[in-house]
Amino acid sequence: MIIQGKELEQRAVEQVAELMCAAARTAPKGRGIDNLVVLVVKGRAKDQLVEEMKRIAKESGAQFFDRDANCLEKTQLAVLLGQKVKPMGVNPCGYCGFNNCKENTEKSGLCAISIGDLGIAVSSAAAVAAEHHIDNRIMFSIGRAALNLAIFDDDVKIAYGIPLSVSGKSPFFDRS
């Protein structure tokens, strides 16, 4: 039996994506509360993200969305990490800019500890990709497009995407 490199590379990217999801899930969480939502997109779902990112670039003039869309287009898949941002009930805190969690909730604020948890999870996931020599880049733009397309449930308020690539040259290098 002969297995072509492209097939092996696709399997490797998918296996690493699975490991990234596990790393994100087991990343430390404030007060041990897990509000993380993790997804993997490929194929048509990934193409829809590319289209939405290009639409955002055109409408907003934020050209980095178009640049990132072109990068995503060249990848095999992307890991999406979203956070259900809920106050953690840590007092005293005030990192969110409000006096307490009650005031944060009343004024539709975002909990800084919960958002920090997302950052730790995203970093843990990206580290796994790097450890396995899979080209990757953390992108706010993919997360924004995913939220626009309602890929996540309504209670996910912040998201990032990490596209993964195995190719002769990283699509994330010389991106200008």
Looking at residue 173, what is its pLDDT? 84
pLDDT in tens, 120-169: 999 999 999 999 999 999 999 999 999 999 999 989 999 999 999 999 99
Contacts of 139 (CB under 8 A, 6+ apart): 68, 71, 72, 160, 161, 162, 163
- Whether 105 maps to a domain, the answer reads yes
- What residue spans of the chain are helical by DSSP H? 5-26, 43-60, 63-73, 101-106, 112-131, 140-148
Phi, psi of 39 (to 5 degrees): -140, 160
- Whether 96 maps to a domain, the answer reads yes
Indicate the number of domains in the chain.
Answer: 1
Contacts of 21 (CB under 8 A, 6+ apart): 38, 40, 79, 125
- Whether 21 maps to a domain, the answer reads no
- Whether 58 maps to a domain, the answer reads yes
pTM above 0.75, yes or no: yes
Three-state SS sequence of 129-166: HHHCCCEECCEHHHHHHHHHCCCCCCCCCEEEEEEEEC
Length in residues, the chain: 176
Domain that holds residue 131: 49-165
Structure tokens at 154: 């309504």
pLDDT in tens, 12-66: 999 999 999 999 999 999 999 999 999 999 999 999 999 999 999 999 999 999 9
- Whether 111 maps to a domain, the answer reads yes
- Whether 40 maps to a domain, the answer reads no
